[in-house]
Amino acid sequence: MSRQTARIPPTTQRVASRELYWERRSMPTRGRGLSSCTPAFYRSTMPASSPSSRQNLLLIGGGHAHLEVFRAFHEQPPENCKITLLVDQPTAVYSGMVPGFLAGQYQEDALSFDLRKWAQAMGAQLVLGRAVGMDLDAREVELADGMRMSYDLCSWNIGSAVVGLDVPGVREFALATRPIGDFAQQAIPRLRDAIRLRGKNPLRILVVGGGAAGMEIAFCLDHRALQEHGVKPETTVLYSSHTLLPNADFPLQNAVMRQIKRRGLKFRHGQKIVALHEGEAETWNGERIPFDLCIWATGADAHLADGWIPVGPSLQVENHPEVFAVGDCAHLTYAPNTPKAGVYAVRQGPVLERNLRAMLRGHPMRLYQPQDDFLTLLNLGDGRAVGAKFGATFTGKWVMWMKDWIDRRFMRKYQTRSIR
């Protein structure tokens, strides 16, 4: 994956440093609470549209939260509003079903969204391009090709990159899990190439990253390799922390560790990759770990060079209420420890949709509060899944059936074949 690099003009650099306070790579440990934010921050400052005025709404990205905006705007188009959808690919992929796709449980079209059709359905102009920066004073978004797009109101939902793409050899010898669409297209061909070159010897799969994504991918690729190769692969999960699934509670960590041991996967904690070579990963202490396929599934990193986009409970940028951000690309200043996960973006979608309409009409904003606990479901690739909720864990085929039902319900809601 090629990381987006923001080229922000000098005027915007001044705004970013003095007015907007973009969050840099190191995220703060404390943020302003709801009570310390000024009430004006949550009221629309855009005048209500009149019959003669037409606002220019720019939607950047086709992530989970924007899908709800697409659906709602199709069913009830906003008045006096020109909508432009800016995306770097004409299709988007639902990340929650990618591990199942790797395991052979789904076809590619089962987890894809057609953004061209969504643009057509809500009467929007579709522009293919990659946003790399923003001039807040001029209300313009800069694209990678140097083109600029103006807006009256804009919303960012561009997801995240992965940490460590600048580690020597990663771009050449590893397959990054972001962008998720590229990963889904390349993972199985890369797996089959590795199997072909390996012959009858066990395939060596190295997954770098011990979060939920890394674990699901490790389990599912391990299963797929066994099915296609007929030989049990040697799958290793390597992560720099000393804790597997660092954002999870201990019961879920323990349940996943039991499955790692049951399936014969290896794990290496407290290890940091300093370089990748052809067929080898070099750790900080000089150890060389051989691999035939390396998956780079490290933590989330910001696409834009200026980092995450800081927003308050109304999902607006402070001092620039015409700018919204949701999903992984947003940093919730009032809840700074919120993990980068799709479950939050899905809940942000309805709030964003209502607030975009409120801005166009001059109405008050609604507030988003991230959920404290949610159902976690991890695909084990072999027809089973691990789940956790309220500190309890559960494993089995029925858990995978529940995950499949939830995922397919989500797809039925947002795939364009559901458009009436």
Secondary structure (DSSP) of 122-163: TTPEEEE--EEEEETTTTEEEETTS-EEE-SEEEE----EET
401 has a pLDDT exceeding 70: yes
The yes-or-no verdict on residue 372 having pLDDT over 70 is: yes
Predicted confidence at residue 189, as pLDDT, reads: 97
Task: Report in angstroms the alpha-carbon separations of 54 from 101, 126, 318, 319.
Answer: 43, 18, 24, 23
- Which residues have a Cβ under 8 Å from the Cβ of 199 and sit 6 or more positions away? none
Radius of gyration of the chain (CA): 22
Which one-letter DSSP state was computed for residue 364?
B
Question: pLDDT at residue 332 above 90?
Answer: yes
Say whether both 378 and 367 belong to one domain: no
Q: Smallest Cα–Cα separation from 93: which of 115, 124, 123?
A: 115
How many separate domains does the chain show?
2
| pLDDT at residue number 25 | 31
Residue that finishes a domain, picked among 357, 372, 387: 372
CATH number, residue 133? 3.50.50.60
Residue 17 confidence (pLDDT):
28
Query: Which amino acid is residue 27, in one-letter code?
Result: M
**Residue written as token pair 């005027």:** 11
> Is residue 143 located within the same domain as residue 198?
no
Q: Do 313 and 267 reside in the same domain of the chain?
A: no
Same domain, 310 and 294: no
28 part of a folded domain? yes
Residues 139 and 220 occupy one common structural domain: no
Is residue 22 scored above 80 in pLDDT? no
364/398 Cα distance (integer angstroms): 44
User: What six digits make up the tokens of 223?
Assistant: 């299963």
Instruction: Give a yes or no: residue 262 inside a domain.
Output: yes
pLDDT tens per residue, range 165-197: 999 999 999 999 999 999 999 999 999 999 999
Residues 314 and 268 in one domain: no
Confidence (pLDDT) at 37:
35
| 135 plus 145 within the same structural domain | yes
CA distances from 136 to 106, 124, 133, 322 (A): 42, 23, 10, 10
Task: Render pLDDT for 341-354 as a digit per residue (tens, 0 to 9).
Answer: 989 999 999 999 99
Same domain, 307 and 395: no
* Residues 28-64 pLDDT 10s: 323 333 223 333 334 445 544 444 478 999 999 999 9
- Mean pLDDT of all residues in the chain? 88
Question: Could you tell me if 218 and 363 lie in one domain?
Answer: no
177 and 269, same structural domain?
yes
> Are the C-beta atoms of residues 213 and 312 closer than 8 Å to each other?
no
Residue 101 counted as domain residue: no
Please, which pLDDT band fits residue 240 given cuts at 50, 70 and 90? very high
User: Where does the pLDDT of residue 247 fall: very low under 50, low under 70, confident under 90, or very high at 90 and above?
Assistant: confident
- What's the length of the chain? 420
Span 367-380, mean pLDDT? Answer: 93
Tell me, yes or no, whether 112 lies in a domain: no
Predicted pLDDT at 229: 94
Arithmetic mean of pLDDT, 377-396? 97
pLDDT at residue 23 is higher than 60? no
CATH of the domain at 280: 3.50.50.100
pLDDT at 373: 82
Pairing of strands 204-208, 234-238: parallel
Report whether pLDDT(144) > 80.
yes
Residues 285 and 194 in one domain: yes
53 lies in the same domain as 202: no
Domain limits for position 310:
10-88+129-160+302-372
pLDDT score of 324: 98
Residue 269 lies in a domain: yes
Is 121 among the domain residues? no
In a domain, 136, yes or no: yes
Q: What is the pLDDT of residue 54?
A: 86
**pTM of the full structure:** 0.85
